[in-house]
Structure 1
């Protein structure tokens, strides 16, 4: 069973997701420049909302390089030597197969783990304190020890540390660990880069600021700068493979159902945080299309291969998306489709039957999730 979510969301002046130059990200699509919001940005924006939509904090994970210091703090709080603890945890991580920069106290790469990982790591280091302390002392100030292949017991402990069978966001978005593919998790959810439905050219705001305590006799600005921005109507697409999600969560039906509901609500409410204090582009999606299907997946971005040029971007984008969806249904058939639900705050929904139209967000999400239970 696969859930698909298609959203049209218009943002006013904003810089939601910046590139290396500080400009809003873009992509060329259909021969013209479009506004773009990366999939990673959208995933993070949604992931930070999971606890607001039915998942306990213990059921969500963290992406971090700072396992060493967190585990060392626990050991110190439990009475272990404060000077030795960081080195012991470093040695412990290295014994488990994870490289650590001793000077910075960071693992080589971000690890996506459940929140219990820090406690597990601290417990492992406490149990093997003497052995790990000796290894740490033998490093002679070297920043990083050569990588060692974990033995059977260390591998089992590493699996315990990285266990994500109760961690919904790791189950949803997957995990890749280059050093050991056994710890990889196939993502249950795919997320597309959001693209503007129309051509977009980035602009910039020239601003000045004045010192409030400057004498009246003095003139001129005390700070001058520019901030890049654009304004665009974006098409957003994501899907969720419920079978994969349930597999990732150890066949826990209750957690799978709550994770799916949190996923749906979080992606609808997700708004990137870039430059929000300066621009407050806090808008909600105007058009929502949800699909429950047994097989396949349809990204509807090609509805906008020819950029929208109408004055009413949302109405024209809505019509283009729903009509493209209808064309796909007519051509490829509906055998794989279990349910279609659409809703719009502002526009008509061409090609969508009245019985497939939801009147509210609660109606929309309830219908879509109920379809997965049939």
Structure 2
């Protein structure tokens, strides 16, 4: 397997970045101790938002997750009578098994590349007559011919959308239209044990009369602070396949993922906590072999000392675990690796770079050698 791994140590101030259904920050037991946790799904969402807002990728290189595909297609079918266009769109989507409900939304939350949506709209426009020939039966997709249905299915090839190529698409009822994810993202875990804390707050009613001294409202919110270990791995062959063999786009997408994953976190309760803390250690490992999540470095929780903070001790534990696995199981073959560190810690066997830009360049060189671009 040709792969590129990312290993990140990141200390965040008091925060509640990723909540459960009760509003509490997510956690997990690991090594017998309670740890702070940030879900893989919320990290992927943060990466996708960064792709769009920074921006790291153009609109044509991104995907959208929505149940409002009917509206998205109608916007691209301007100049056609709205009722006729809506009927054609619903017939086409029903033929694909996406099942448009009475509210005009699809049964599933669909993940489609912008290119797929554009081509789907073009195909509906070209086959407007066939898709609206018999409204009575057509709403169930019965009037769509086999050839047209096949053409509609062929549009759904991923559309060279990088985030779709990275994170995949699953359609339970249409598995043949799915896309195998090229990236795997682990739940982030604190390298040390944590205890939840509570912030009791009150809000004052600005129009309260002076004699009314009570709070307008009150409540509490849970939080913790943590040094997190974050891990992700990208299957480069799968990424290239999902992007239809486009080496340059695969490398662009890989580097966008590296930057976005390293620099983003979920945004939960940030207006209350502003825990905008960049990572203190970022390393990549690229080559041919098997992936390694190094969370076992923290099975025994890190404890601070008088001379070193948890962040520095976490980096040293991570690098030690990396070296131990290399000694026992061997490194990737061939292998490229580099790190960026902002803490005073021993990083002996990994070349250290001065900036994220340098780390990106090293990763790009490794990817080009692995993918032949």
1:92 is displaced (CA, Å) by 2.3
Aligned to 1:229: 223
Deviations 1:85-134, CA, capped at 9 Å, x for gaps: 434422221122211212x2211111111113333343344444455446
1:313 correspondence with 2:310: yes
**Mapping of 1:202-241 within 5 angstroms?**
202-241=196-235
1:137 is displaced (CA, Å) by 4.3
How far apart in 2 are the matches of 1:300 and 1:263?
Answer: 20
Deviations 1:42-72, CA, capped at 9 Å, x for gaps: 1111122224364211111111111012223
Equivalent residue for 1:282, pick from 249, 261, 276: 276
1:109 correspondence with 2:108: yes
1:255 is displaced (CA, Å) by 0.9
1:28 is displaced (CA, Å) by 0.8
Aligned to 2:38: 37
Aligned to 2:292: 298
How far apart in 1 are the matches of 2:125 and 2:367?
Answer: 45
Aligned to 2:43, the other structure's residue is in SS state helix
How far apart in 2 are the matches of 1:275 and 1:150?
Answer: 50
1:181 is displaced (CA, Å) by 1.9
Q: Work out whether residues 287 and 347 of structure 1, in 8 Å CA contact, stay in contact via their aligned partners in 2.
A: no
Q: Work out whether residues 208 and 221 of structure 1, in 8 Å CA contact, stay in contact via their aligned partners in 2.
A: yes
Aligned to 1:318, the other structure's residue is in SS state helix
Deviations 1:155-179, CA, capped at 9 Å, x for gaps: 221221x221421111111111112
How far apart in 1 are the matches of 2:233 and 2:51?
Answer: 16
How far apart in 1 are the matches of 2:202 and 2:150?
Answer: 57
Equivalent residue for 1:331, pick from 328, 346, 357: 328
Equivalent residue for 1:258, pick from 232, 245, 252: 252
Q: Work out whether residues 50 and 56 of structure 2, in 8 Å CA contact, stay in contact via their aligned partners in 1.
A: no
Aligned to 1:170: 164
How far apart in 2 are the matches of 1:23 and 1:158?
Answer: 42
TM-score, normalised to structure 2, is 0.90
How far apart in 1 are the matches of 2:42 and 2:342?
Answer: 25
**Mapping of 1:1-374 within 5 angstroms?**
1-51=2-52, 52=54, 54-75=56-77, 77-80=78-81, 82-102=82-102, 104-133=103-132, 135-137=134-136, 145=140, 151-160=146-155, 162-311=156-305, 312-334=309-331, 336-352=333-349, 356-374=351-369
How far apart in 1 are the matches of 2:204 and 2:334?
Answer: 60
Unaligned runs of 5+ in 1: none
RMSD of aligned Cα (Å) = 2.3
Between 343-352 and 197-206, report the one with greater CA deviation: 343-352
1:345 is displaced (CA, Å) by 0.7
In 2 relative to 1, CA 122–248 (structure 1 residues): closer, same or farther, beyond 3 Å? Answer: closer
How far apart in 2 are the matches of 1:147 and 1:278?
Answer: 53
How far apart in 1 are the matches of 2:288 and 2:215?
Answer: 62
Q: Work out whether residues 210 and 221 of structure 1, in 8 Å CA contact, stay in contact via their aligned partners in 2.
A: yes
Unaligned runs of 5+ in 2: none
1:322 is displaced (CA, Å) by 0.7
TM-score, normalised to structure 1, is 0.90
Q: Work out whether residues 96 and 155 of structure 1, in 8 Å CA contact, stay in contact via their aligned partners in 2.
A: no
